[in-house]
Structure 1
Amino acid sequence: MQRRQFLHASALASTLLLVPKFLHALDRPKNQLAARLRDAPGDKARRLIVVQLGGGNDGLNTIIPYRNDLYYKARPTLALREADGLLPLSDELALHPAMRGLKGLFDQGQLAVCNAVGYPNPDRSHFRSMDIWQSGSGSGQTLSTGWLGRYLDTTCQGGAPAYQALEIDDTLSLALKGAQRNGLALKNPGKFHQLTQNRFLSQVSQEQHVAPAGSALDYLYKTMAETASAADYLYDKSKIHQSTATYPNTDFGKNLKTTAELINSGVESRVYYLALSGFDTHVGQHGRQAQLLGQLSDGLAALAADLQQSHEWENTLVLVFSEFGRRVSQNASNGTDHGTANNVLLLSGALRKPGLLNQPASLADLDQGDLRYQLDFRSLYASILTDWLGADDQLVLGPGIEKLAGLV
């Protein structure tokens, strides 16, 4: 191989398939993985969809304490009122008016709200706090692997393919990076497949190349062969089902539609990861947050309806989080600044505990102007890993994390 070809192929492989080791399963029977995944009622595999709200969504104006005078005192112009069309969840809490789709799911027992979720010694940096949430670490730890990547490391053994976890994006987040296995990032199965049709890559995938075991060249050949195999599989499966559901005509809506099409086509993936960004609302929060929450709500309602139609919604759990909430008091620019604890949403057709799972944080007992967290986000992770994905949460998160019994 010429040096230029090697460098070009190396760059292509690192872009397409971000895995540290080759997964020896190119020609495995397709039903072999399916047998390992059949752990849900009705002999169907359970899957997790994670939706990351980038920028720090303002939880107080998402799940609104509309009967609390302290809320209106802290936000004289930013607070939302009943006259704005709030969507009541209880006598004390209401959804943002833009979230009618999620209100419908709440009324059907398919939405759970976790209030005041966070972690000790919170960090208000976007990058550091997102690393904490994606890695599942404590604030005093720095981990190079993600919680879902370690799930892949510890659970998906025996030649499981790279598409066990898919991020519907061009790059792979820390959350899906393990020490031995990574997820796979792709925006669109057709475009991803097209990228792998590089002439040299096709040649490598089809021919037997001899290279010293463990060498960079050996790793490159094997990685590219797995890339091509995964791309072929996903492209072929994606042609089985084309969704007729109506999703928001946004990037996030299109990514949700791609996710539903892959699920409904029978793709054998346990985890999907998506992001909706733009929530860093320091200035003019009202309009921006309403637009984003509308995209989130309409998109997830469309996803639920789509998967209900194909009888896959009961086997699907959606986790919605943001790296932190916002400060209780509004700032001088009709926005909010970086805060700490926040709400987390869970959606599924099989929730054991729908509705409001705990009380909101007290607005009379703040921590230097911020909400005090009541629920460690790692407890949610531990419950999802154990009770939904059938994994050993201690192998993924370490010991000492208390699970939430009977959540899913």
Structure 2
Amino acid sequence: MERRQFLKNSALASSAFMVPSFVKALEGATFRTKGFKRLVIVQLSGGNDGLNTIIPYTNDFYYKARPSLGIAKNIIKINGTLGFHESLEPLQRLYDDGYLSIVNNVGYPNPNRSHFRSMDIWQTASDSNSYLKTGWIGRYLDMHAKKAYNAIEVNETLSLAMKGKHHRGIATKDHRVLYRTGKDPFLSDIAEHYNDAHLSEHNLGYLYKTLIQAKSSAQYIYEKTKIKLGTADYPQHSFGKQLKTTAQFINSGLDTSVYYASLGGFDTHANQQGTQKRLLGIYAEAIEAFVEDLKSQDTFRDTLILTFSEFGRRVAQNAANGTDHGTANNVFILGEDLKTPGFYNELTKLNDLDDNGDIKFEIDFRTIYATVLNKWLEVDDREILNKEFNYLNFI
């Protein structure tokens, strides 16, 4: 078994569940139906402009700060002060059905405006001055999961959020490709001869175990996933495909508690209007199709969808008709039985900004995580977040 061949095939390990002991393929695999709660996390990468997403259309300070970028026409007015961007019409229908809760002014103390650092903070649930090597979902897996497929990111690479100290989720955009990769003769040879002394004592033994576990997960996902034709019409975009695949996994009853998807391109420093309009349309159309897909199989009632971006944008527009990196933002929670549908809280005052001209955060994003962990996934949030946070009342 040549080192070159091992490295060539080790890409599968990057999406595997890092465990210290070998688990046989499909051992203890289960099929989940009604009553099994699932969390779907949607990441809007680049820093979505929350003020032009949920628009304070009666606020003079908003239009003064954004003389050409402020939106005054075609607003979907929700109440007397706030409205949706026109591209969010599909989301408005979910809002009208009571399936959406919007949490405003979400952030964290001493915010960081770097994409990479702020995303790390959101994905690890750390303080802004501390650096963690494990993600908040990864730590959940460390404590409460046994298999790689207990958390799936529908992407080619695995986010830090999904990586724990001992366990991690699995990343795949196409479970059929993952399965074919897992059928590689190299991996079959490892699985067959793993307990041979020359392999189990090899200094790469830990990675061999990882590859075997990835093969096990690939086989489980492939064998359990069923093609169920629905009426949902997903947008022809990679994000729409991610949610369509996620719905297929959920409706097949995979033993998966957490799914992770992402939509990028929100770093709108210049010419923001067209870019954000297009991206918000893709997001809203895909989310509506996703909910319709789940409802058709009666799995939406057991699914909670959380949408976040690593930060919002500056209140004032810049010279390039865009917005620069800001701080607090809105977070969307979608589910069937929300306790507080609609606007969870009011938008902060735009005439009372921080020293940098940014929105002051009101709600620590980790209070949302704590609520989801405790009230939805029903685990001890304190041992995962390493701190105690108050719970919000949206679920």
Shorter-chain TM range is: over 0.9
Percent identity, please: 46
Give the corresponding residue for 1:328.
315
TM-score when normalising by structure 2:
0.95
Out of 92, 107, 111, which is 1:118 matched to?
107
Greater shift in the superposed pair: 49-58 or 203-212 = 203-212
User: SS of the residue aligned with 1:401?
Assistant: coil
Q: Is the 8 A contact 1:168 1:255 kept in 2?
A: yes
CA displacement 1:278-333 (0-9 Å, x = unmatched) = 00001000000000000000000000111011101110000000000000011111
- Segments of 5+ residues of structure 1 without an aligned counterpart are none
1:248 aligns with 2:235: yes
Looking at structure 1, the residues matched to 156 and 313 of structure 2 have their Cα atoms a distance apart, in angstroms, of 28
- When residues 208 and 18 of structure 1 are mapped into structure 2, their CA distance, relative to the original with a 3 A threshold, is closer
1:358 aligns with 2:357: no
- Segments of 5+ residues of structure 2 without an aligned counterpart are none
Looking at structure 1, the residues matched to 166 and 24 of structure 2 have their Cα atoms a distance apart, in angstroms, of 15
Greater shift in the superposed pair: 192-201 or 254-263 = 192-201
How far 1:88 moved relative to its partner? Answer: 1.6
CA displacement 1:249-272 (0-9 Å, x = unmatched) = 000001110000111111110000
CA displacement 1:150-202 (0-9 Å, x = unmatched) = 0111222xxx2110000010000000000111010011111111222211112
How far 1:236 moved relative to its partner? Answer: 1.7
Looking at structure 1, the residues matched to 316 and 11 of structure 2 have their Cα atoms a distance apart, in angstroms, of 48
TM-score when normalising by structure 1:
0.92
User: SS of the residue aligned with 1:203?
Assistant: helix
User: SS of the residue aligned with 1:314?
Assistant: helix
Give the corresponding residue for 1:285.
272
Q: Is the 8 A contact 1:243 1:261 kept in 2?
A: no
Give the corresponding residue for 1:19.
18
Equivalent runs, 1:148-163 vs 2, <5 Å:
148-156=137-145, 160-163=146-149
Looking at structure 2, the residues matched to 216 and 350 of structure 1 have their Cα atoms a distance apart, in angstroms, of 51
Residue identity matched to 1:30: A
Looking at structure 1, the residues matched to 201 and 130 of structure 2 have their Cα atoms a distance apart, in angstroms, of 31
Equivalent runs, 1:32-71 vs 2, <5 Å:
34=32, 44-71=35-62
User: SS of the residue aligned with 1:236?
Assistant: helix
Out of 140, 164, 179, which is 2:150 matched to?
164
Residue identity matched to 2:37: R
1:104 aligns with 2:93: yes
- When residues 210 and 23 of structure 1 are mapped into structure 2, their CA distance, relative to the original with a 3 A threshold, is closer
Give the corresponding residue for 2:83.
94
Out of 377, 386, 389, which is 1:389 matched to?
377
How far 1:27 moved relative to its partner? Answer: 4.3
How far 1:13 moved relative to its partner? Answer: 4.0
Looking at structure 2, the residues matched to 374 and 25 of structure 1 have their Cα atoms a distance apart, in angstroms, of 47
How far 1:23 moved relative to its partner? Answer: 5.4
CA displacement 1:317-351 (0-9 Å, x = unmatched) = 00000000000011111100000000000001121
Q: Is the 8 A contact 1:101 1:297 kept in 2?
A: yes
Residue identity matched to 2:16: L
User: SS of the residue aligned with 1:99?
Assistant: helix
Give the corresponding residue for 2:297.
310
Give the corresponding residue for 2:324.
337
Aligned length: 393
Looking at structure 2, the residues matched to 364 and 6 of structure 1 have their Cα atoms a distance apart, in angstroms, of 59
Q: Is the 8 A contact 1:119 1:377 kept in 2?
A: yes
- When residues 73 and 138 of structure 1 are mapped into structure 2, their CA distance, relative to the original with a 3 A threshold, is same
Looking at structure 2, the residues matched to 241 and 293 of structure 1 have their Cα atoms a distance apart, in angstroms, of 27
Looking at structure 2, the residues matched to 27 and 290 of structure 1 have their Cα atoms a distance apart, in angstroms, of 44
- When residues 23 and 364 of structure 1 are mapped into structure 2, their CA distance, relative to the original with a 3 A threshold, is farther
Looking at structure 2, the residues matched to 2 and 247 of structure 1 have their Cα atoms a distance apart, in angstroms, of 44
User: SS of the residue aligned with 1:98?
Assistant: helix
User: SS of the residue aligned with 1:248?
Assistant: coil
Residue identity matched to 1:256: L
What's the C-alpha RMSD, in Å, of the aligned pairs? Answer: 1.7
Give the corresponding residue for 2:334.
347
